[in-house]
Amino acid sequence: MMSQPGLSPILGRFKPSAIAATIAIAARMRAEGRDLYDFSTGEPDFDTPDHIKKAAVEAINRGETKYSPTDGTIAMREAVQRKFARDNSLTFTLPQIIVASGAKPLLADVLRALASDGDEIVLAAPCWTSHAGIIELVGAKPVYVTASQAQGFKMTPGGLADALTARSRAVILCSPSNPSGATYSEAELLGLAAVLRLHPDLWIVTDDLYEHIVFDGRRFCTLLNVAPDLADRIVAVNGVSKAYAMTGWRIGYAAGPSRLMDAVRKLMSQAAGCPSSISQAAAIAALDGPLDCVEVFVAAYQARRNRAVRALNLFPGISCIPPEGAFYVYPSCEGIIGTATPKGSRIASSTDFARYLLEDWSVAVVPGAAFELDPHFRISIATADAELDEGVARIGLAISVLGRRGNQLGVVNG
C-alpha cells in the first residue's frame, strides 16, 4: 500500500474541541433513536426575535445578497460603533472596528496577528476550550491562572502577576465567563489593570460575548471602562450570537487599536471572504433595536440558574455556586470521585462522570477537563425548562446509585 502525503505538523499542537466531540456523540445517539437531555451546547433555545428576522428578509428582497467588504459593511460597522457608544460609553472610529463571520474566527485572527511561536498567552482556568485551542493553533503557549470555585472562578491580581514572564505576549479576559459564568466587577478589573500597567508590552483581549447576560441586577463592565489608559493595547471581541439568539447567523465584531485592526484585516484579506450580507442586515437590527427581547431571555436564564443550582446542591458529592452571568453552571463533582457505577466502573475524573451520565442516563454534559479545571462539569442552562429540570433530576438519580465501598453514595433529596 502506497503511503500518503503528510499533514501539517501544526495539527499536533492542539486537541480537537471537547465540546465538539460531546456534541458529535450526542448527535450519533439521537440518530440511533435515543432520547437525550443535551446540556453540552451553549446555544439559546429561544428563536431569533422577529424584528431581526424581518430585517434579513427585507435585505434579501432589496437584493442585498452580494459580497460585502472583508471587514463588514460600513452600515454594520456604524451599528457596532453606535453600540459601543450607547452600551459601553466607548468611542471607536470605523477603521478600529472589524466585523467577521463569528466571534470565534475573529478571535483566532486577532491572536494570529499579535502572537507567534514561543509566545505565552495568559488566561484564567477554567477557560473556554477554544481560547486554549486557538492559542496553541498560532504556535503560542497557554499559561493558566487557576481560578478555583473558592475564588468565584476569577483570576486574581496576584495570580496574574505570578503567571507573567518575559515570554508573555497577551492576556485574555472573558467576562461573563464560559464555562463558569464568573463576571468581573469594576473593583476586580481595577485590580487586574494595576498589574497590567506594569507590563506595557502586553496585549489584552477581552471576550465580551456574554455582555448582556448578567444576573441579580449586576452591571456589565469591561476593562476599557475602568482602565482607558490601556486602550492602545486592548481589543474587545463581541458578537450577536448569544444575547440575541443568533448563533447560526455567524456575526462577530471587534474593536481595538488601529495598528492591530489593520493587521487583522491583512490576515482576513487572504484567509477569509466576508461576513454574510444578510446576516449583517439582521445584526444591524439587533444592535440598533430594543433590548426587551434580551431581557426576557435573561430573566428565563436566571430562573433556570436558580432552579438548577438549588437542585444540584441537594445531590451528595456535588457543590455548585450560582453563576453571575452567561448561561452555564459549573458544579464541582469532587465528592463523587472514587465512587463506582452500578456496572462496576470507577468514577476517577469528571470525564468518567460525564461518560457515565451520557451512556447510562442519556444526559450530555461537558467534563471540566475540557476547560482546564477539574473536577467540575458544565451544564448549559440555555435549554427548555422542562428538559433542564428533568435532566438535572436524572443527574441526581445517577449520583444516588453510585457506590463507595459497597454502599450507596447517598439518596437524592427532593
| Cβ atoms 34, 260 nearer than 8 A | no
Q: How confident is the model at residue 300 (pLDDT cuts 50, 70, 90)?
A: very high
Residue 25 has pLDDT above 80, yes or no: no
Helix (H, G, I), strand (E, B) or coil at 19: helix
Percentages (nearest 5) of helix, strand, coil residues in the chain: 45, 15, 40
State residue 332 phi and psi, 5-degree precision: -85, 140
Provide the residue count of the chain: 414
Q: Which pLDDT score, from 0 to 100, does residue 43 have? A: 93
Question: pTM of the entire structure?
Answer: 0.94
| Better pLDDT: 1 or 88 | 88
Residue 406 has pLDDT above 70, yes or no: no
| Better pLDDT: 226 or 14 | 226
Tell me the per-residue pLDDT of 188-237, one tens digit each, with 9 for 90 and over: 999 999 999 999 999 999 999 999 999 999 999 999 999 999 999 999 99
Q: Which pLDDT score, from 0 to 100, does residue 1 have? A: 58
Residue 283 has pLDDT above 90, yes or no: yes
Q: In angstroms, rounded to a whole number, what is the distance separating the alpha carbons of residues 377 and 363?
A: 12
Q: Which pLDDT score, from 0 to 100, does residue 333 have? A: 98
Q: Which pLDDT score, from 0 to 100, does residue 413 have? A: 36
Task: Specify whether domain 9-47+293-408 bears CATH 3.40.50.300.
Answer: no
Q: Which pLDDT score, from 0 to 100, does residue 409 have? A: 60
Cell of 202: 502586553
How far does Cα 221 stand from its chain's mean position? Answer: 17
**Which residue bears the cell 474566527?**
105
Q: How confident is the model at residue 408 (pLDDT cuts 50, 70, 90)?
A: low
Q: How confident is the model at residue 310 (pLDDT cuts 50, 70, 90)?
A: very high
Tell me the per-residue pLDDT of 121-138, one tens digit each, with 9 for 90 and over: 999 999 999 999 999 999
Helix (H, G, I), strand (E, B) or coil at 196: helix
218 Cβ neighbours under 8 A, 6+ residues apart:
183, 185, 324, 325
Tell me the per-residue pLDDT of 373-382, one tens digit each, with 9 for 90 and over: 999 999 999 9
Please state the domain extents for the chain. 9-47+293-408, 66-288
Tell me the average pLDDT across 330-342. Answer: 97
How far does Cα 101 stand from its chain's mean position? Answer: 16
Q: Which pLDDT score, from 0 to 100, does residue 14 have? A: 76
Q: Which pLDDT score, from 0 to 100, does residue 13 have? A: 78
| Cβ atoms 180, 323 nearer than 8 A | yes
| Cβ atoms 95, 263 nearer than 8 A | no
Best CA proximity match to 327, nearest among 357, 301, 290 = 301
How far lies 237's CA from each of 1, 22, 97, 253, 303, in Å? 48, 26, 10, 6, 28
Query: How many other β-carbons are positioned within 10 Å of the β-carbon of residue 27?
Result: 13
Helix (H, G, I), strand (E, B) or coil at 5: coil
Q: Mean pLDDT for the chain?
A: 94
Residue 313 has pLDDT above 90, yes or no: yes
Q: In angstroms, rounded to a whole number, what is the distance separating the alpha carbons of residues 304 and 327?
A: 9
**Pick from 5-14, 61-70, 316-325: least confident:** 5-14
Q: How confident is the model at residue 23 (pLDDT cuts 50, 70, 90)?
A: confident
Q: How confident is the model at residue 405 (pLDDT cuts 50, 70, 90)?
A: very low
Tell me the per-residue pLDDT of 141-171, one tens digit each, with 9 for 90 and over: 999 999 999 999 999 999 999 999 999 999 9
Per-position DSSP letters for 278-336, written without gaps between them:
HHHHHHHHHHHS-SHHHHHHHHHHHHHHHHHHHHHTTSTT-B-PPPSBTTEE--B-GGG
Q: Which pLDDT score, from 0 to 100, does residue 29 have? A: 78
Q: How confident is the model at residue 44 (pLDDT cuts 50, 70, 90)?
A: very high
Fold of 66-288: Aspartate Aminotransferase; domain 2 (3.40.640)
Helices (H) and strands (E) in the chain, counts: 13, 14
